[in-house]
Structure formats: structure tokens, C-alpha cells
Structure 1
């Protein structure tokens, strides 16, 4: 047997390597990472400490060694031959595999306007160091994209005394993933902190002076950051003939269209029982899919089921969203001392929840809401909106029923 090869040493690939050992797999495990570092977490990159970019390691070198995981850093996979069961590496080596996990993640969406090369990306530790080493109090930064990454970066830069302009083609910030009420509150907070917004306008070009918008105006900037989202990294899978779409298509057990090849994390588009495929971009999803894929590679047949969840910290505000809120859902608002909660009902059934409050004050409520969603309950809206009704008590009642 040739063991298991994992392509991608981010959150998903690294967690999968350890999960294989936890599942009792005794064969060789090889983890391939394109960056020259030990595996690290991406969320802390925007949260500098004493001016320095953090590198929060997923694991230490001795943990990899103790688990018998061969970590090949600074290398990428250049060719996948699923018929031969081989992976060609960028240094010319060819690895044979018994089973393979594609955890290639996502890559930043690129600007296509003239001067796009002047914009910095914000995805890796090297990107973060390049940006923060070039900013200082009083400097001007233009961020293209008002999604979660762009808005989080704006908050960090404002706290450093940097003048920030945010440019967004949509009519409002955070329009894709964040519930409208909370998106508006975060927008208002950023404006109060001094962030200048240029909404409903595209980028015509990037010059030495800043960003030229499609209406002809110029947003002056010493530094331009592109934060316009990511695309699943499917190039290797496509070249190998695997089924792809908005990601590498898998079944509910995370198996791809090729024998003995699985996919997990930001690159994977997982089959839904109701039809179609869904791809999630979140830290928790990367971990959960990794663990499921690892167990299935060792012989299990687990269906991937997990409630989508993400968080965002902006200034002193903490946002958490569990499930997939939709405009058609009935929204039930609960105001509490720590902030506001929204519950989302679909035909009376609780399917999602979101909260915005100071720091991590609503984390317990969101966790309880996740458990209530998993319990498949159909609560009375008045019960959810009443802050005097303890969610833990509601959960106990649901479980007893």
C-alpha cells in the first residue's frame, strides 16, 4: 500500500491528517503544503499583536512527527493521474497513493482592470506582512470589496490610525452573507469610526495615486488592497478530469468522481440530499469536512452533515451566524443586554440564527440556537422573542419532547 496523500496544508488538510491517525489509520500519511511555513490558521492574520502579524500554528513540528505525518512544505502538486494513482510535485517527485484528499482551498479572485497588479491580496501570511509593513498612522488605504474580509481589515486599520476607504460594487456592504439588519449596523459603526464608503461603484483602474472609479472619480490611496472574494482552487482537479463546478464535486461522503479521491474544505462542493451541490467557506466547515473525509478514507461511510457557522470580529462587535438565513424566512428578533439575536423560521421550523453584540457576549446563545436547530423544533415566535425565556430551558423541553 502507498498510503494516503493530502494536497493542501491549510485547516482542512492538516486536520484531516491528524484525524486519520485518530481513526486508527496506520499507513503512511503525506501532507503537501505550498507555503514555506508550518500549517497555520488564517483568521488571526488580520489581528496584529504589538504591530506584528500573528501566525497561529495549527500544529507544531513535533506534533507532526509524533503522529507520523510526513509534511512536505513549499511544494505544490503539478499533476494528478487518477488512473495511475500518482501525484506529480513541483520539485519533480512523483508520489503514489492508496487514497488521496484534495484540500486545495480557495484562491483570491483577481481584479482585471488596468493597474490591477498594484493591488495587494489578503489571503496568506506573506500577504498580511506585506500590507501591515507598509501602513502607518496617517497613511491612506483603499480596500476594494466590502465583504467580511474587507470590513474586518478596515476595522483593524482604523484602530491603527490609518485612513480607510472601502469601495464596493454592490449598493451596501456585507450583502452576501450577513443578515440585513446586522450588515446595516456594522456599516453604521464603520462610518462612525471614519471609514469612507464608495458604494454601487466599480473600479475602472488602479494608478499610482489610488483607485479610479467607473464614475471617473479618484479615491486617493497610498496602498490598495483587493478583497473581492475567493474562488475554489480546482485547477488540479479539472486537469485530472474530475467533475467540477463551483468547486470539486463530491457525493455526500466527500468522494469525488475519481476512485479513491476525496475533497474537503473550501475547494469542495458537496452533494445535497435535495439535489445540487453546496460549497461552504468557513473555518468550522473546513475542520468538520476534514474529519468526515478522514474517517471515510479509512473505511467509514459517513454522510457529511453540519450546520454552517461563521463569525466576524469588527471593532468591539462580534457577529455570529449559524445556518443559512434566507430572505423568505420569518425573522424573530430578540433583544438582550449583550446585543441582538435573530431567529429564522421556515414553515415554523427553526433553521438559522444570528447575533451581533459586544465581543463574544452572544456566543452561548448562538451555541444553544445551534442545538435547537439540530433538535428540529418549531417554537412559537413569541417564545423566541422573549428574553425572559431561557434558551437552555427551551432546549431541555425540546429534548424531553
Structure 2
């Protein structure tokens, strides 16, 4: 046996490789990455410095070497034979494994309209370089998709004095992941910054002139970016006969339907206690699943139970959401010095929280909210609505009880 092989050198795969060593695993660890770089983080890709796209490495080459991790870059997995416990790589070599981790991540959802190939993706370092090398003050960029990726890119481009149009098939931006009140506030901020919105309209075609919408109108643009979401990369798993759905299906310990094969990160759809599977797309989820799956591959049997958490920076505003807010929950508002918070109660129990404020000013409150949710408290709505009531005091009381 050739130890543990990890397919995918993004946040989840790379963190899992190091977490294996932290868990005491002494066998060989091979990390396979499709890109020609050292592993890097995706969130900073939009944070250019002097016009250059930054690459924030997850680890240095020296760290990989010191941990005894073999890193094969610029290669992808072409075939998985779960019965023989082998994985074939794009360069023809075949690796045997004792255990395998699929951390293949997600890929951009593609447009299907006429001229769709003209739209650039915004997912990798190469994508970011392709976009930012073509923008300049006074140029026009059309972003198709008003989700978090599209709106974050719009805010960055407006900061560079680039004219931005956002096209969205839904009637409102940020309709999926962001609480409604905060989505409205972010929409208003973008409009105040000069972003032009074309809502409730689809895309008919993309040409040299820009984007033709389904109502016949044309959004003129020098550059078009497609940001209509991502799909889990399940091609390898599906071809090998693993159970898949909206992701590679795993149990609560992140084991797939094949013996000794695990999945984590954006590609993994994890079994839920109440039934069904759920897939999370966030930097935090990729990291926390990596830690759990590494311990389980090293011999533990831990259930993955971390709360979902994500953030988004747009202009000088910071959005953070922990847990899974739902419109059916009781929503309790709380003002704060740097913004405002929303707490979500399900049958009286605190299950989620969200904050929108200046910069990172609400990070401490969201962290306390995360700990309150984990403590399983059922607070009085008046208590958490009152900014004079210290959340830390509520946490101490919950722990004492």
C-alpha cells in the first residue's frame, strides 16, 4: 500500500494533508493538484496590489517537505479504480493507496447562451489575472450573476473606477445565501456606488458589443465575466461508480460509498442527522472538514458537526453569517456600534446569526453567536435584542447552566 493519496490541492486537500501529520499519521501522504502553483487560498484573488493579482499561499514548499508530503502539481486524476485501490493520473502514472481523499472542489457553472465562451470565469489565479489584466478606469465590465462572487467582484472593480453592470435572472441580488434585509442593504450600496443592475432578465447572447438580454436590450461591455455559481466536481467519483448527487455523497464521518475513500470540501455532500445530504461552499467549511476527515483517515470516527460560516467583503462593509438562517425562523434584530445583527430562533432555540457592518467590526459578536448556538441556548428575544446585554454574559450563563 502507498499510504494516503489526496486528489485536489485546494484549501480542503492541502489542510487535510497537514492535519494527517498532526493526527499522528506516519505513512506516506501524496497531494495531487491540477494547477501549476503551490496550494493557494482563493478569497484573496480579488485583492489586487498595484494592479497585480496576489497569491496567498496555504503553505510554502519547505513546509510540505518538512511534513513529508509529496506534492504533485499540474496533474489531475484521470481514473479511479476503487476495487483495486488505485488512481491513475493525467501523466499516465498509477498510484496505489491505503486510503484516498477526494477534495476535487467545484468548477464554475457554464453559461449556455450564444457566445458563452466569450465570458471569463472567476475561480482560479489564472482567471483573476485574465480579468484584472484587461480592466482599467473607464472600461465597462458586465458581470452575469448577482451572487456573492459577482457582487464582490463588482465592488472591487468599482474601486478601480471601472464601469460595472450586473445581470441577474432573479428579481433581486444575493437571493440565495444572504439574509433578505442585508441583501437589500448591499444592493442599495452597490447602486449608490454606481453599479447598474439588470434584474429579472436572462442572457440571450454574448458578442463583441456586450450582452444581449432576453428582453432584446443590450448591455455594452468591453469584458464579460460569468459568475452564475459553481458545480461540485464529481466527474472522477461518478465515473468510478461512487454514490453522487449534488456532490459526492458521504456519511457523517465523510466516508463515501467506496471502502477507504473519503471526500471533503466543496465536492462533498454530507449526510444530515435528519436525513438527506447537504453540501457547503465556503472557505471555513473546506478547512473544518479537512481537519475532521484527516483524523478519520488516521483511525478516528468523528462526526462532522461544525456550523456553516461564511463572510463577504463588499466596499467597506463586512457580512458574516453563521448557521443556516431561514425565512421561517423568528428573526431578532440587534443594533451594534459598527452595524447590526440578526439572530434566528427555531422554536425558541438559537440556530443562526448574521451581521453586516463596517469592516470586521462585528466579528467578535458573530464568534460569540457561534458559541451560543453550539451551547444550544433558547434565549429570551428581548435579551439578545438589547445591545446593553453582553453576549459574553449570556454565554457564561449558558455554560454555567
Judge same fold: TM > 0.5, yes or no. Answer: yes
- The residue that corresponds to 1:229 in the other structure is 229
How far apart, in 2, do the equivalents of 1:370 and 1:27 lie? 36
RMSD: 0.4
- The residue that corresponds to 1:41 in the other structure is 41
C-alpha displacement of 1:40: 0.1
Query: What is the aligned residue count?
Result: 401
Q: Which runs of 4+ in 1 moved over 6 A?
A: none
- The residue that corresponds to 2:279 in the other structure is 279
C-alpha displacement of 1:49: 1.3
- The residue that corresponds to 2:51 in the other structure is 51
Unaligned residue ranges in structure 2 (runs of 5+): none
Q: Do structure 1's residue 164 and structure 2's residue 164 form an aligned pair? A: yes
How far apart, in 2, do the equivalents of 1:108 and 1:216 lie? 26
C-alpha displacement of 1:140: 0.1
C-alpha displacement of 1:8: 0.1
How far apart, in 2, do the equivalents of 1:54 and 1:147 lie? 23
Equivalent positions of 1:326-365 (< 5 A) are 326-365=326-365
Q: Do structure 1's residue 261 and structure 2's residue 261 form an aligned pair? A: yes
C-alpha displacement of 1:148: 0.2
How far apart, in 2, do the equivalents of 1:123 and 1:62 lie? 26
C-alpha displacement of 1:270: 0.3
- The residue that corresponds to 2:205 in the other structure is 205
How far apart, in 1, do the equivalents of 2:338 and 2:123 lie? 32
C-alpha displacement of 1:50: 1.5
**TM-score when normalising by structure 1:** 1.00
C-alpha displacement of 1:51: 1.1
- The residue that corresponds to 2:64 in the other structure is 64
Unaligned residue ranges in structure 1 (runs of 5+): none
How far apart, in 2, do the equivalents of 1:325 and 1:391 lie? 19
Deviations 1:161-201 (A, max 9, x none): 00000000000000000000000000000000000000000
C-alpha displacement of 1:337: 1.3
Where 2:300 maps in the other structure, the secondary structure is coil
- The residue that corresponds to 1:13 in the other structure is 13
- The residue that corresponds to 2:380 in the other structure is 380
Where 2:122 maps in the other structure, the secondary structure is coil
- The residue that corresponds to 1:180 in the other structure is 180
Deviations 1:238-263 (A, max 9, x none): 00000000000000000000000000
Where 1:31 maps in the other structure, the secondary structure is strand
Q: Do structure 1's residue 106 and structure 2's residue 106 form an aligned pair? A: yes
C-alpha displacement of 1:376: 0.2
- The residue that corresponds to 1:291 in the other structure is 291
How far apart, in 2, do the equivalents of 1:97 and 1:372 lie? 41
Q: Do structure 1's residue 192 and structure 2's residue 211 form an aligned pair? A: no
How far apart, in 2, do the equivalents of 1:272 and 1:335 lie? 33
C-alpha displacement of 1:353: 0.1
**TM-score when normalising by structure 2:** 1.00
How far apart, in 2, do the equivalents of 1:18 and 1:337 lie? 39
- The residue that corresponds to 2:128 in the other structure is 128
How far apart, in 2, do the equivalents of 1:351 and 1:360 lie? 22
